[in-house]
Amino acid sequence: MNKTRSKTYTMVLMAMFTAIIIIMAFTPLGLIQLPIIKATALHIPVIIGCIMLGPAAGAYFGALFGLTSLIKNTITPSALSFAFTPAIAVPGTGHGSFWSIVICFGPRILVGISPWLFYMAMNKAMPEMKSGVRAGILGASGVIGSLTNTFLVMGLIGALFTDAYATLQGIPATEVGAVIMGIIAANGIPEAIVAGAITPAVCMVLFKVLKTKGSY
């Protein structure tokens, strides 16, 4: 790929993934309201974007994911929105928390990096891999990105907002860990399966159309 085409390719994909994330964020496609938490599909374009364009672009897409989450949780709050925006008071207090910014952005930025790291490592280990193997690695990359989001978000909520989460759920603080693991199983595993299926399906098409094998 020549330099001019590479720049055009990067600009088009950056614009495309940015638009997809914004559209998904502010329609029912991206954040699905459940009784306690919003289940998300927004990690999928972040994962695909980082594989196609590399970790810097992936971190940008992840930050955009975080920003849309901050906005959504501020303007249309749910019971758990205090963990994603300082504009919503933490249960048991009269104010929001800075740690909501960490939860909102940190895991989402890493979603745009961890799949690329795995995909890059596998490409270096198997530079001549067959299409089926590549599809499997892309699927695993999608799962890794999705679980990065789920484990870090829910883990940080459990660690940083133990008492508030216990109050919200009406349970003792000692049971928060078990409830968090239940949510990870109920929401995180299906989200990971979906990401593991969509990531290779989309990436393999883009690889063929753009005559590339991703950014590594």
- Each residue's pLDDT expressed in tens, for the chain with a length of 216 residues: 555 557 887 898 999 999 999 999 888 777 665 555 556 789 999 999 999 999 999 999 999 999 999 999 999 998 999 999 999 999 888 899 999 999 999 999 999 999 999 999 999 998 888 999 999 999 999 999 999 999 999 999 999 999 999 999 999 999 999 999 998 888 888 889 989 999 999 999 999 888 887 765
Residue 154 lies in domain: 3-210
pLDDT at 212: 81
Domain assignment of residue 147, yes or no:
yes
49: CATH: 1.10.1760.20
Domain assignment of residue 216, yes or no:
no
Domain assignment of residue 100, yes or no:
yes
Q: How far apart are CA 30 and CA 171, in angstroms?
A: 30
Domain assignment of residue 115, yes or no:
yes
Of 137, 147, 155, 133, whose CA–CA distance to 193 is shortest?
Answer: 147
pLDDT at 5: 56
pLDDT at 40: 78
Predicted TM-score of the model (pTM): 0.90
Q: How far apart are CA 80 and CA 34, in angstroms?
A: 10
Domain assignment of residue 7, yes or no:
yes
Domain assignment of residue 129, yes or no:
yes
CA-based R_g, the chain, Å:
18
pLDDT at 108: 97
Q: Which residues contact 178 (CB under 8 A, 6 or more apart)?
A: none
Please give the tally of structural domains in the chain: 1
Distances in Å between the alpha carbon of 95 and those of 82, 88, 106, 154? 9, 7, 21, 21
Q: Which residues contact 34 (CB under 8 A, 6 or more apart)?
A: 187
pLDDT at 10: 87
Q: How far apart are CA 152 and CA 157, in angstroms?
A: 8
Helices (H), 128-188: 131-160, 162-169, 176-183
Q: Which two tokens stand for residue 187?
A: 């929401």
